[in-house]
Amino acid sequence: MRPQLFTDPSPGHRARALRAARAKLAARALRAARRPLRGRAPALTVCTAALALACAATAAAAATPPAASTGAASGVSYSTATVSGYVDPNGEATDYVVQYGSTRGLGAQTSLAPVGSGTGYVKVVQVLTGLAPVSTYYYRILASSPAGASAGAIYSFKTARVPLSLAIAGAPNPVEFGSPFLVEGTLSGTGAGGHPIELQANPFPYTAGFQAVGNPELTNAQGGFSFPFLGLLENAQLRVVTIGQPVVSSAILTEGVAVRVTLHVGATRRRGYARLYGTVAPAEVGALVGFQLLRPGRSVNQGGTVVKPAGAGGSRFSRVVRVHRGVYEALVRVFDGAHMSAYSQAVLIR
């Protein structure tokens, strides 16, 4: 058989043939790209390099930003409040914050918190702290994801007043019988400055009830106060109360009244002995008296006696004891409930 002879096609014919071949190959590649890959689920779409930008743009256009809805505040106190809301991540990894402030411009926000990447609304809750009392605050929920951000409506709440409270102390406590002392304290809370208050007392045996002592006072600008008390004769329960609404009372303070003890040293004819004597007011006949020699870090008992009656409703004690050089004091122990035991002033024996 004779070989067939072919002649070279014209340049125009070659170009048309090349374009047709390229189109046929592109169609085959497109059909292959649209078929799911075997062994993979769900099916993946293969994008050629030429289509990568178009695929990314299509995916971005398909993503939906999260939705945010602000809820009402609850548990509002003078310094804290609990705010809530709802966030729908719309299938994207989403975080949220609570933005808040004393104006509608907000200005502060909580730390970023995750919501997840599901679909459907999820309730979110945050506790705001460090708030000022009797102040209006504005807040909203702000959610964000790679697809964008959205904010809920701005709501508001008002913090409460700081409740008034009273704290008192006696200075000194106990007080020596017949001596003056102070009842000092502080009224705290909203409106504490310049507030009228009064001191009340319920003396031993604490059955008469509380009665006002002296005149009412006004607290200073910081809520501080000080009541002078003259001549408390027996242990007493004390309290301070506010005048007007709201009525607030301090805790009950028991102010003790210690017996007043004097101690003196008298000479005797016996070498190494001295007379220790003194008085006790108010009269505490039968109370025990102990004489103590003070040593560094301890005291040494040097004998004792009992209190005896004296003229004009008073009481006294006296005893000759063996003594050494040093500092002595007398301890008078009472058990009548109306007064407290007490030490005398110290005396030096050379």
Indicate the domain borders of the chain: 67-158, 165-257, 259-349
Report, at the CATH architecture level, how domain 67-158 is classified: Sandwich (2.60)
pLDDT digits (tens, 9 = 90+) for 162-218: 999 999 999 999 999 999 999 999 999 999 999 999 999 999 999 999 999 999 999
> Shortest CA distance to 278 belongs to which of 254, 301, 310, 252?
310
pLDDT digits (tens, 9 = 90+) for 261-308: 999 999 999 999 999 999 999 999 999 999 999 999 999 999 999 999
pLDDT at 44 over 90: no
| Residues making up the chain, counted from first to last | 350
CATH superfamily name and code, 259-349: Immunoglobulins (2.60.40.10)
For residue 245, the surrounding DSSP H or E stretch is none
> Shortest CA distance to 326 belongs to which of 290, 304, 278, 294?
294
Q: 123 pairs with which residues across the strands?
A: 86
Cβ atoms of 182 and 225 within 8 Å: the answer is: no
Kindly report the pTM of this predicted structure: 0.68
pLDDT, position 63: 86
Neighbours of 339 (CB within 10 A): 25
pLDDT at 333 over 70: yes
Cα angle for residues 345, 347, 350 (degrees, 5° grid):
170
In eight-state DSSP terms, residue 51 is: G
Main-chain phi, psi angles of 61, to 5 degrees: -65, -30
Residue 247 CA to residue 196 CA, distance in Å, equals 11
pLDDT, position 59: 52
Residue 257 CA to residue 336 CA, distance in Å, equals 12
Report, at the CATH architecture level, how domain 165-257 is classified: Sandwich (2.60)
Provide the 3-class DSSP secondary structure of residue 17: helix
Residue 273 CA to residue 293 CA, distance in Å, equals 14
Please determine whether the domains at 67-158 and 259-349 fall in the same fold group of CATH: yes
